[in-house]
Amino acid sequence: MPADPADPTSPLRRDVEAALRAAWVPDGYTAPNTTVYPWLWLWDSCFHSIVWLALDDAARGLREMETALSTIDETGFVPHMGYGREPERAVELWGRRGSSSITQPPMYGHALAELVRAGVDVPDRLIERAARGLRFLLDRRPRIDGLIEVVHPWETGCDDSPRWDDFCPDGFALDRWRSHKMALLTTIERGPDGEPLHNPGFAVAPVGFNALVAWNASELASVTHDSSLAGEADELAARLDDRFDPGLRTWVDAGSSEQGSGRVRTAGALTALLTCRDVGVRRAAISELVDEGAFASAFGPRGVHLDEPTHAVSSYWRGPVWPQLAYLLWVALSRAGGEESAAAETVRRSTIAGAIESGLAEYWESGTGRGLGATPQSWTGLALVLDRAG
């Protein structure tokens, strides 16, 4: 019988706790990795907050959210990176002091809802900041076919996803794409306070990003009883339903890539399961998620469908397992219950196996569990959350 993950002698709990405590920065956040990623990243910190809850340290989880939302500006824009320790470091790249000038998926709605559900006394100011951050995206960002635009691949969290290949000059090549992503920062159109609104060089409204906006808005509304925010979340979720392609068994991005790379089958696109209520659509998408010839593997859901020409077993965002996406897919399935419970259990067990085999790596090969990227990576502590759910 496996050790109780709540027991401090549990190997997984021990390793996760050691990794997060070693990465804690006195300024009030967990560095994703102290060497590779020493700064604050927005959605990472939201996941860290949930892991701190699993480690029975709600105070630190709350502190992480305080820090993550501390850089919100008057417009509701929440930067995706914070440079509290060395604020001048941000100026050269981002043109502003102390933080970046783009955002990331607003996982703060889910993180704060989890804190509230755990009985944590979340200050009203944090709830208000999270609501303003979501409304900035819902109300200020332009839309394509009803879906919210992003201004840069980094805003999606899925940096080098093959969904963005249509925006890679002369086809995807890592060095060329890195240079082009830097160039895309210069074409962002901003509001009067510098808030990022639109980018003509990256005309896309990704279904994965929109699903996370809609779901996080719904999560926050579920604990604040904000009917207006809940209504906006439902409206956005309904527009996502229109983007499902039954032949591909996935959701298709809106924008200039919708007939091209916006159709690539990725795990990121399947996060639309968080908001989808159509039983037939869910069954079709989940059938791909649990198929070993598609997304399923012994070490978690692959980041890209096995049959996609762009699938690459160990390339960044182009095939390996990403633990934060696996966690989100598990949430989508586990909350539905019923016949989806078996699929949720498959995702849960395989992701835990991958996290352990990889040494809590940033991401890992689906076939071997070999760790890739930064190791350890703090968000891979989500494996403990999955373990405690068993």
Question: CATH code at 195?
Answer: 1.50.10.10
Domain membership flag for residue 35:
yes
Kindly list the distances between the CA atom of residue 35 and the CA atoms of 41, 44, 103, 284, 378, in Å, as whole numbers in the listed order. Answer: 14, 15, 22, 41, 12
Domain presence at residue 40: yes
Q: How far is CA 180 from CA 68, 115, 153, in A?
A: 28, 39, 11
Domain count along the chain: 1
For residue 4, being part of any structural domain is answered with no
- Say what the pLDDT of residue 40 is: 98
Assigned domain for 89 exists: yes
Say how far apart CA 305 and CA 217 lie, in whole Å.
28
Q: Give the pLDDT band of residue 3 (cuts 50, 70, 90).
A: very low
SS3 assignment, position 108: helix
What is the per-residue pLDDT across 259-273, written as a single tens digit (0 to 9) for each? 999 999 999 999 999
Q: Is the pLDDT of residue 44 over 80?
A: yes
pLDDT band at residue 4 using 50, 70 and 90 as cut-offs? low
CA atoms within 13 A on the CB side of 123: 10
Decide if 1 is inside a domain. no
Q: Is the peptide bond before 200 cis (omega within 30 degrees of 0)?
A: no
Write phi, then psi, for 351 (nearest 5 degrees). Answer: -70, -40
Q: Which domain holds residue 203?
A: 11-388
Residue 6 lies in a domain: no
In a domain, 88, yes or no: yes
Residue 204 three-state SS: strand
Residue 29 lies in a domain: yes
Task: Supply the pLDDT for residue 6.
Answer: 58
Task: Give dist(CA 238, CA 329) in Å, integer.
Answer: 19
How confident is residue 1, by pLDDT bands cut at 50, 70 and 90?
A: very low
